[in-house]
Structure 1
């Protein structure tokens, strides 16, 4: 994880999501980051299991799309 201050004075924490599964760890991490007053940005997600990928796509849509 890296912490970066953008030009808009917003603290951004960028991270990668390896072995993503269905996105539970990512959801918890992003929730904790936001509770601490930071903005999160997942810059890479990796998963190889087809079923997990289909569920993960739906979960990320719910998180990012809302």
Structure 2
């Protein structure tokens, strides 16, 4: 397994709407494949829902991250 050195951190993301938009942009437009998230950030629901939206588009698969 390879882990990209550059990741997208979600620890300071308090606004769910902005986090959703930022994740869409980072993953779909910038090619980010490393999402840094943790239970302690309290935003896992938004991260999960956003990833489901992205995967539903069919361009990126879960195994790509």
Greater Rg by CA:
1
- Using the size of structure 1 for normalisation, the TM-score is 0.44
Give the alignment's TM-score, normalised by structure 2. 0.44
Between structures 1 and 2, the one with greater strand share? 1
